[in-house]
Structure 1
Amino acid sequence: MTIVRDDDVLGGEPHIEGTRIAVRHVASRVVDAGHHPAHVADQFDVSLAEVYEALSYYYSNADEMRTYRRENADAFERVREGSLKPKEPVQ
């Protein structure tokens, strides 16, 4: 099986074995951005079969994938809120 979980890689998020490419990353490019799977395989330097296996996992585990997407969006928002903000302009 190409899709694996490892607590030491991406916090245990499902990913393509031997990479740090999460199923979520593949789905984002193909499903959300509309890129062709062959293009995504080339971008990520993985096989087309691995892209299709990631997509299969994504669709077979929709609830889990929604959870990972939500957690990632929440983490991004926390980082954005905690980042340095430009000073208010002096008037």
Structure 2
Amino acid sequence: MSTRTGHRYVTTDPAILNGEPIIEGTRTSVRAIVEIWRMGAAPEEIPTKLPHLTLSQVFDALSYFSDHQDEIQRYIEQNEIPPEKLHRSQ
């Protein structure tokens, strides 16, 4: 059962990504959108990388992040791959 967050497109559902905030109707997390944005993509570019999203959904995710930075940062840290697990090209 999903829970509204006060943001039009962002919801949570304990059955999807352990309740991490997602774009409603998808499995795309706010975290994923924020990470693409932090890598330098303009919000308008993100739907070209995640074509199932609209620009409105992207902006709502970034708005949610603005209101919940500590929460999303925790999700980013929890999902970070430790350097020793990364494959390094020779």
Tell me the TM-score normalized by structure 2. 0.77
Which 4+ runs in 1 deviate beyond 2 A?
none
Report how many residues are paired. 77
1:18-37 to 2 correspondences below 5 Å? 18-30=25-37, 32-37=38-43
Whether 1:14 aligns to 2:21 is yes
| SS of residue in 1 equivalent to 2:79 | helix
Tell me the alpha carbon deviations over residues 63-91 of structure 1, each in whole angstroms, 9 at most, x when there is no partner: 11111111112xx33x939xxxxxxxxxx
Which of 81, 85, 88 is the matching residue for 1:80? 85
Q: 2:55, 2:39 → 1: CA distance?
A: 17
Which of the pair has more CA radius of gyration? 1
CA distance in 2, matches of 1:5, 1:49: 18
Measure the CA separation in 1 of the matches of 2:14 and 2:85: 25
Distance in 1 of aligned mates of 2:76 and 2:35: 10
Which runs of 5 or more residues in structure 1 are unaligned? Answer: 82-91
Please name the residue that 2:3 is paired with.
none
Question: Structure 1, residues 18-47: CA drift from partner, whole Å, max 9, x if none?
Answer: 1111101111111x2111112101221211
Structure 2 unaligned residues grouped into runs of 5+:
1-7
- Matched residue type, 1:44: L
Q: Which residue identity does 1:4 align to in structure 2?
A: T
The structure in which a higher percent of residues are helix is 1
